[in-house]
Structure 1
Amino acid sequence: MEGMWYKECSQGRRFIIKISPKESIVKKLIEFATEVKIKNAVVVSAVGSVKDVVFRGIKTGAKLPITEPRMHIHRVEGPLELLGLEGNIFPTEDDKVDCHLHILVAKSSGEVLGGHLFDAEVFATCEVVVTEILASGVERYRSKSGGVKTIFIEE
């Protein structure tokens, strides 16, 4: 089908993960996926609290490819309520675990922030639900046209 690609997949194992205070969410998810030998997965939900959050937003009016000058990097000290974390885990072309995550957090004022997550440290707790995806021929590469890492599906 022109303009989109797809591949049927099945659900595999499901996990509930609790990440301790002062730990990096991204680092712990990569360690988890490596330890339990997950190749492909989706982050279903996450709640808790975080601090030292670093995420990206794409600047208004940006053109493709997405490059550093077309991004705004946000650094928020917190602590913040973790309202949501979603994304996926797929291998890179050299078979390394790669997480593509988006975060949604709230300040004590109720202001909500979010974007592409680079990293965040757990403040009090972080509870994550992950579902394994059973599929082959899906890897993450840097897209020349988009400028960011994205999944490619083998036909």
Structure 2
Amino acid sequence: MKDYWHKEWEQGRRFILKIKPGRRLKESLSQFVAERGIKYAVIASAVGSVSQVHLRGIKAGARLPITEARMNQHRIEGPLELVGLEGNLVPDESGQIDCHLHILVAKSSGEVLGGHLFDAEVFASCEIILSEALVAGIERHPSKSGGVPTIFIQEGEDRP
């Protein structure tokens, strides 16, 4: 038995997206993909600056399942350099696009912070390279073992 599941996907459209200052990053990204009918996508690159960042990290020594008590939430006022943003956009069980994003931001001191992104406000600009994935049979479901929503791959030729 294999230790993984997989689905092969084809490259769809590719976009360069620039989000205006003062806009909410996840809200703007969600609006963009909804307007273009994008169901699956990956963030290839993102740079810019952000403020009002809300992220979380898993506490040291935490066990599964991940629960609120096993996570630290952080709110960082900024402004901060956006040095990394990655993740995927996959529909949940109801068909709504779920933006699962992780962020890396740098303070003016050079200290870098990161984690799961709840949201952030664009400070000066945010430039995102987005790649559409053409695939079917994948949704994000709550994981009983992990405690957080994760990708679920439907039964088929690509799943053991």
TM superposition score normalised by structure 2:
0.95
Matched, 1:107 2:111: no
| 2: CA distance, partners of 1:97 / 1:32 | 11
Distance apart, 1:154 and its partner CA: 1.2
| 2: CA distance, partners of 1:18 / 1:57 | 27
**Secondary structure of 2:6's aligned partner:** coil
| 2: CA distance, partners of 1:144 / 1:29 | 28
Residues 122-147 of structure 1, C-alpha deviations (whole Å, 9 max, x = no match): 00000001000010000001101101
Unaligned runs of 5+ in 2: 156-160
Unaligned runs of 5+ in 1: none
User: What is aligned with 2:2?
Assistant: 2
Q: Which amino acid aligns with 1:65?
A: P
| 1: CA distance, partners of 2:120 / 2:20 | 12
Residues 57-101 of structure 1, C-alpha deviations (whole Å, 9 max, x = no match): 000000111000000001100000000100000001110011000
Distance apart, 1:2 and its partner CA: 2.5
| 1: CA distance, partners of 2:3 / 2:76 | 37
TM superposition score normalised by structure 1:
0.98
User: What is aligned with 2:96?
Assistant: 96
Residues 25-80 of structure 1, C-alpha deviations (whole Å, 9 max, x = no match): 01111111110000100011100000000100000000111000000001100000
User: What is aligned with 2:17?
Assistant: 17
- Superposed CA RMSD in Å reads 0.7
| 2: CA distance, partners of 1:146 / 1:3 | 16
Instruction: Please give the residue correspondences for 1:132-143 in structure 2 after superposition, counting only pairs within 5 Å.
Output: 132-143=132-143
Instruction: Please give the residue correspondences for 1:1-155 in structure 2 after superposition, counting only pairs within 5 Å.
Output: 1-155=1-155
Distance apart, 1:3 and its partner CA: 2.2
**Secondary structure of 2:3's aligned partner:** coil
Regions of 4+ moved over 3 Å:
none
Identity of matched residues, %: 65
Q: Which amino acid aligns with 2:4?
A: M
**Secondary structure of 1:15's aligned partner:** strand
| 1: CA distance, partners of 2:31 / 2:92 | 15
